[in-house]
Amino acid sequence: MRGHVTAGSVQGLREAQEDRFVASRFRDRGWLLAVFDGHNGPGTADVAAGLVEDAFAESFDRYGPGTAAVSATIGKLRDATADRVDGSSASVVFVDEEAGRVFVAVLGDSPVILRDADGELRSAPIHNTATNPTDAERAIERGALLVGPYLVRPDKMEGVNLTRTIGDADLTFLGRTPEMLDATVGADSFVLVASDGVFTRLAATPEMLVARFGQLIDGETEAEALIADALAAGSDDNVTVVLWKGAE
């Protein structure tokens, strides 16, 4: 099986473009897909996007195909950005076309949604205060204040609505451990990696977003069409979509 990848990114209504993405063929075996949604500046996302291919190759050589390789990749990116005060989500995916499997590691709220070989729609965890109250409670136990949707430092009243990130060196209460997902994929499967700009009034929750993409993605759909849909549905954020679709 060999799939097809399309990708795109737009600034939208934001003052700056802080999303970064990577979609690269890996050793003629599959695809490495990654999205980094920066905040308080694009620096952490820039560093992560620049390092992810080498970090994954090193992790793959050590651990082989599987969730360990994508998890270790995020670990390398976390360590490389540990001193930065800006931050980013990190969603790293390897579509192993040779084995018919996909391996996902996520840190933050850049969604990963897929249709597996059995036709089931699945999504990776989302790490923000709205969708992950358990994570938020852990951050509060580590010294954060929850102010509206934001976890903030009490001394500066500055923070983020994410519960896990890379970078954000001054927000020591945030989680730094990725969560994983793996699945089988086939000719009718898709794997989508996006920034949170795809959340809109028509897809305001993870469950609604999964359902919407399940309806929108067919054999002709490409990433640009999904970006256009998010903008038409009222997204005011940077919007990035990387889409792999299976083929015979």
Residue 182 makes CB contacts below 8 A (sequence gap 6+) with 66, 67, 101, 102, 103, 104
The pTM of this model reads 0.96
Q: Which residues pair with 7 in a beta bridge?
A: 242
Intra-chain end-to-end CA distance of the chain, in Å: 5
DSSP letters of 208-247? HHHHHHHHH--TT--HHHHHHHHHHTT--S-EEEEEEE--
- pLDDT by 10s per residue, the chain, length 248: 889 999 999 999 899 999 999 999 999 999 999 999 999 999 999 999 999 999 999 999 999 999 999 999 999 999 999 999 999 999 999 999 999 999 999 999 999 999 999 999 999 999 999 999 999 999 999 999 999 999 999 998 889 999 999 999 999 999 999 999 999 999 999 999 999 999 999 999 999 999 999 999 987 899 999 999 999 999 999 999 999 999 86
For CA atoms 214, 118, 124, 31, the dihedral sign is negative
For CA atoms 200, 206, 207, 210, the dihedral sign is positive
Round to whole Å and give the CA distance between 95 and 117: 13
Token pair, residue 88, equals 């980013």
3-state helix/strand/coil string of 176-207: CCCEEEEEECCCCCEEEEECHHHCECCECCHH
Backbone φ, ψ for residue 9 (5° rounding): -155, 135
Token pair, residue 219, equals 């054999």
If one counts every other C-beta atom within 10 angstroms of the C-beta of residue 32, the result is 24
**Which pLDDT score, from 0 to 100, does residue 248 have?**
64
Fold of 4-126+178-245: Phosphatase 2c; domain 1 (3.60.40)
Name the nearest CA neighbour of 17 among 230, 195, 193, 228: 195
